[in-house]
Amino acid sequence: MNNKETGISIIFFGLIFFFLGLLLLDTGLLCASNVIIVAGLSFLLKTNILNLTSGDEPKGILIFCTGVIFIFMRFFLFGFLFEVTGLFIILKSKIGGIKNKAKTMLFGILSKRIPKFFLK
């Protein structure tokens, strides 16, 4: 598994924690999801900080961090909206590649798990 696949997988697990935290209104799960998502972003962006200083990425980082602050202040809905908006702004230039990589990973996993007679 390369860095992009690892980053996408980690972000996916972070989003699962995030939605569970929203569903249960648990600040601990929401904070853990933020850490997991940031770790996934660092894998996805290959830990190159120069990628984050060009274009709209600084605006996305600021919006994401504002969402984290709202979650710490227990404003879950506003925090969720700010974080999703920030992640979209950070990743909008890479969404096409992420979508194709996620599709490839998903169908690769499914093709190994599903018996051949279902795929005909």
pLDDT, tens digit, for every residue of 58-96? 888 888 889 889 878 888 778 878 888 887 887 776 666
Return d(Cα 106, Cα 39) in angstroms, integer: 21
Q: Which tokens sit at 111?
A: 């093709």
3-state class percentages of the chain: helix first, strand second, coil last, to nearest 5: 85, 0, 15
Run of H or E residues at 104: helix 95-113
Q: CB burial class (10 A; 0-12, 13-18, 19+) of residue 23?
A: exposed
Q: CB burial class (10 A; 0-12, 13-18, 19+) of residue 32?
A: middle
Q: Which tokens sit at 50?
A: 């120069």
**Considering its fold, how many domains does the chain have in total?**
1
Residue range(s) defining the domain that contains residue 58: 3-119
Give the global pTM: 0.57
- The 10s digit of each residue's pLDDT in 21-70 is 888 888 888 888 888 887 887 787 775 555 566 677 788 888 888 988 98
